[in-house]
């Protein structure tokens, strides 16, 4: 998700990101707290190996900790002596917790970097003294220090997560994030909501053609005179549509890593008075080795308000109707 956020930022559409960042931050809060609970329970089980282990399987899977290694984190933890413990998946779990703290901080930095600066400083200090868990070996004091929720003492990752969660809840209330026909939206006028509902009707008309594959998450906001709609088409990092609706003009920006699929998308509008920019190749280090992605922009200006975008034949691309 973070890579998709960065792709949308690169397209200059940061206004539409807040609902997505908030949702990801709140999910990260749940995941980080489950992760810390697993580490605590692993220490407890290693100290008392005859007691039945608590796997927290339902909580793990609900929070997104589905990697097979975490099935063994508690039940196969064991003491090594000298206060050291080997906990399967401990190194990956600690890395995930820090990534989740970053995801919780992202919407706060996006909304007001100045106000989030104190959180960033705390994270920097905590990261400098974090447990490394090389070979999945940790000590009890390291885990106790990290998971401590004692106010007024030394700072901890747990205390930072708690404070970030409170800040996220305040920001969500201030942003008034709501759902319109399944899209996460904020700062919309009544007429905008009607257009988002129309977009979602088009999207849902052919949603079943995705055959259960993830994607199609939609966010929308108002940016000045424009309604901005972003659709997370699929799990491919660069596969995104951003749509602007301003008066009688609709502009769609489409990104993809596949040239053939991009041309297919453009071809669905043949003869429908859509003017396309040339296909442009962009680069993004966040995509790893395959750092190139394609970008194209289509523009349509309607002659009357009842017709803001040309209708398409029934296909997956119908979702671009605003």
pLDDT in tens, 278-308: 876 665 544 444 456 787 888 899 887 555 5
Distances (CA, A) of 52 to 35, 49, 131, 269: 19, 8, 27, 61
Residue 23 confidence (pLDDT) = 76
Query: Out of 119-128, 132-141, 256-265, 298-307, which region has the weakest mean confidence (pLDDT)?
Result: 298-307
Residue 25 confidence (pLDDT) = 86
Pairing mode, strands 292-301 and 280-283: antiparallel
Query: Which residues, including other chains, have CB under 8 Å from residue 282's CB and lie 6 or more apart?
Result: 10, 255, 292, 293, 294, 295
> What is the pTM for the complete model shown?
0.63
Residue 267 confidence (pLDDT) = 93
From 3.90.550, 1.10.3470, 1.10.287, 3.90.1150, which CATH number describes the 187-320 domain? Answer: 3.90.1150
Domain range list for the chain: 2-175, 187-320
Confidence band for 321, pLDDT divided at 50, 70 and 90? very low
Most confident of 190-194, 283-287, 293-297, 315-319: 190-194
What is the secondary structure of 88-139 as a DSSP string? TTHHHHHHHHHHHHHHHHHHHHHH-HHHHHHHHHHHHHHHHT----GGGEEE
Residue 285 confidence (pLDDT) = 47
What integer is the mean pLDDT of 30-44? 92
Whether residue 115 has pLDDT greater than 80 = yes
Averaged confidence pLDDT in the chain: 82
Confidence band for 43, pLDDT divided at 50, 70 and 90? very high
């Amino acid at each position: 998700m973070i890579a998709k956020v960065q792709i949308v930022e690169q397209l200059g559409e940061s206004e539409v990101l807040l609902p997505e960042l908030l949702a990801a931050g709140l999910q990260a809060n749940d995941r980080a707290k489950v992760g810390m609970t697993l580490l605590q329970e692993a220490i407890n089980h290693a100290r008392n190996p005859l007691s039945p282990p608590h796997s927290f399987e339902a909580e793990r899977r609900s929070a997104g900790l589905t990697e097979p290694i975490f099935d063994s984190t508690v039940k196969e933890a064991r003491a090594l002596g000298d206060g050291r413990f080997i906990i399967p998946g401990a190194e990956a779990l600690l890395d995930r917790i820090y990534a989740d703290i970053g995801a919780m901080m992202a919407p706060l930095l996006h909304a007001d970097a100045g106000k989030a600066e104190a959180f960033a400083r705390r994270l920097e200090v905590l990261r400098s003294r974090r447990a490394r868990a090389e070979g999945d070996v940790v000590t009890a004091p390291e885990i106790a220090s990290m998971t401590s929720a004692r106010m007024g003492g030394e700072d901890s990752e747990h205390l930072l997560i708690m404070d970030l969660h409170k800040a996220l809840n305040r920001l969500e209330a201030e942003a008034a994030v709501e759902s319109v026909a399944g899209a996460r939206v904020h700062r919309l006028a009544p007429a905008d909501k009607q257009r988002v509902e129309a977009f979602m009707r088009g999207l849902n008309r052919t949603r079943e053609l995705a055959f259960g594959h993830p994607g199609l998450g939609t966010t929308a906001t108002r940016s000045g005179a424009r309604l901005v709609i972003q659709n997370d088409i699929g799990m491919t990092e660069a596969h995104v549509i951003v749509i602007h609706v301003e008066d009688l003009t609709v502009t769609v920006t489409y990104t993809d890593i596949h040239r053939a699929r991009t041309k297919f998308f453009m071809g669905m509008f043949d003869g429908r008075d859509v003017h396309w920019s040339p296909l442009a190749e962009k680069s993004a280090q966040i995509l790893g080795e395959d750092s190139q992605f394609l970008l194209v922009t289509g523009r349509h200006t309607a002659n009357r308000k009842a017709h803001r975008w040309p209708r398409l034949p029934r296909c997956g691309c119908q979702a671009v109707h605003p």
